[in-house]
Chains A and B, each alone.
Chain A
Amino acid sequence: MVLIETKNLTYTYPGVSKPSISDVSIKVEKGEFVLITGPSGCGKTTLCRCFNGLIPHFYQGELKGEITVADMDTTKHQTHEMAKSVGLVFQNPENQLFALSIEKDVAFGLENLGVPREEMWERVEWALKLTGIYDLRERSPHEVSGGQQQRVAIAAVLAMRPEIIVLDEPTSFLDPLSAEKIFEVIHELNKKLGITVVLVEHRLDLTAKYADHIIIMDEGKVCFDGDPREILSAEETRLIGVGIPKATLLYQILKKEGINLNNLTPLSSEELAKMLLEAFETHD
């Protein structure tokens, strides 16, 4: 089942002459973990803003083409309707947090939806525990660290139990271990609860291994769309400035040197290490 579909989607911000995304036609299936990447300024964030209707309702400007998300035409449904189906986590958590306590921030969306009190606290507790900030629940979101703020923003979206979670570089401000934990949480939500994940990231070292679909954009256009192993092993991917995982890069370099490794391009250090151990065994 297709959950997100765009056809020739083109959008231009107000007062700008050049479109930020042009002719974008993509499909996201229910339950997929999609990774969107590409050089800075390629239109990734703009595309995400279309998924929950922030474009065109909040940003105005000119939107052409078609977009359907969870069976809704985002141009006809308001953002608050979209919010039940699509949760968006921004690059910068400070833009998203405002309540006096972390707990209230996470509960805010649910209050707006009119979720019964009992269920609301259940969901808030669940989301706070999943993101590891339960102990901070009574603190102000503005007095915790940048990394903790990002977890609050993620918890607030999780509590809404959306069908689709769109995360725009959600771990930029986190230390690597916390980032890894967040990605694991997202991965789990995807695998166990079947929530469709759209993740915008530059750091493929950390994220490529989770993806079952990758979309690479450049200058507002989609230039690759498909299987991560195939796409990240293509030479062209590197040429447009995508930082492929180091394990994938080392695999390519070794192959070029004539080292005979498994044909399945690795996306993580575990995968490559396993292949190398096998290669060494056969030489013994």
Chain B
Amino acid sequence: MIEVENVHFSYPNGVEALKGVSLTIRNGEFVAIMGQNGAGKTTLVKHFNGLLKPSEGKVRVDGVETTKTSVAALARNAGFVFQNPDHQLFSETVEDEVAFALKNFGFEAEVIEQRITWALNLLSLTQYRKTSPFLLSGGERKRVALASVLAWNPNTLILDEPTIGQDYQQKEKLRQFVVQMQTQGKTVVIVTHDVEFVAESNPRVVLMKEGTIVADGEGREILTTPEVLAQSSIVLPQIAQIFMKLAPLGLPKNVIDVYDAKEIILKALEERRK
């Protein structure tokens, strides 16, 4: 469980990135943190594994205050994948990259081998095992960064913009993976701008603006409320846009899923025919 209590945070240059944020994320939750560039999303999630410590207020991870423990101890439980994979990758081969943290955490050679194989397979990277990460495409490098964190199997996974540069199939895999993590009782927090990805997964959405939380609730409700979204520079998902325009027909507005949309339209047409 992650408990954030009235947290303020200022960077050394004086910019106040968080202005009193309170939030509780329970184990096994899937949360999408959304909002405009510079809203404080990344700053907030960096508090979840102790990379940043609050200037004011408290952050507790599984009951332990982050100021009272080390990043190394917190990292074992909370894996963080950065927005830009190049901030994270440094090894000669993809395999070494994934092995790095596992070695640091003191896993046995045999386990390391198994974990590497598992993580690379999961993210369709097996063929690049011996390749330098820097020869891979942007989307592939992003997956290497993800694989290197997944490999040590943390309880909480924090993904900063995981869908950037990913094609539709990879996003689909990521989504299935998140579902799988949840069935194992793991917590997944993503920072994202990708409304379509969120619309397809329907997680809890936390909407931020200028260092504060402006909305917190079910994705389907938040992503279909234009007044709330507009203040965070988020646009409606395409299906929601369509239903907004169909409002004169008296159809529901809170629709974000293509297949839900199909059912509603078919039913409404059927009723008209009668």
Contacts and interface: CB of A to CB of B under 8 A. Distances in A.
A and B are interacting partners:
yes
Interface stretch (B45-53, B161-169, B214-222): B161-169
Contacts of A178: 36-37, 233
Of the candidates B36, B83, B194, B259, the one having the most CB atoms from chain A within 10 angstroms of its own CB is: B36
Contacts of B269: 259, 279-280, 283
A250 B165 contact: no
8 contacts: A41-B140, A45-B137, A94-B86, A176-B195, A254-B266, A270-B241, A272-B242, A280-B246
Contact of A277 (B143, B169, B232, B246): B246
Given A41-B136, A41-B140, A173-B161, A205 B167 contact: no
Of the candidates A13, A38, A243, A277, the one having the most CB atoms from chain B within 10 angstroms of its own CB is: A243
Contact of A39 (B35, B169, B265, B272): B169
Given A91-B138, A254-B262, A202 B168 contact: yes
Interface of B: 13, 35-38, 83-84, 86, 135-140, 143, 161, 164-171, 193-196, 199, 230, 232-235, 237-239, 241-242, 245-246, 248-249, 258-259, 261-262, 265-266, 268-269, 272-273
Given A40-B165, A179-B193, A277-B246, 4 more contacts: A146-B84, A246-B237, A253-B258, A277-B249
Q: Is the interface of B mostly helix, strand, loop or mixed?
A: helix
B138 A270 contact: no
A177 interface: yes
Contacts, number: 149
A253 B140 CA distance: 31
A269 B241 contact: yes
Contacts of B139: 40-41
A125 B83 CA distance: 31
B106 to A, nearest CB: 33
Interface residues of A, number: 54
Given A180-B235, A272-B242, A249 B258 contact: yes
Contacts of B37: 145-148, 173-175, 178
B242 A269 contact: yes
B272 A257 contact: no
B160 to A, nearest CB: 10
Top 6 nearest A-B pairs by Cβ distance? A243-B168, A40-B139, A273-B245, A147-B37, A241-B169, A269-B241
Interface in A236-276: 241-243, 245-247, 249-250, 253-254, 257, 259, 268-270, 272-274, 276
A57 interface: no
Interface string A158-181: 000000000001001111111110
Contact of B164 (A172, A270, A276, A284): A172
A173 B87 CA distance: 15
Contacts of A284: 272
A81 B237 CA distance: 42
Contacts of A272: 242
A273 B239 CA distance: 10
A41 B123 CA distance: 13
Interface string A192-231: 0000000000110100000000000000000000000000
Contacts of A247: 238-239, 242
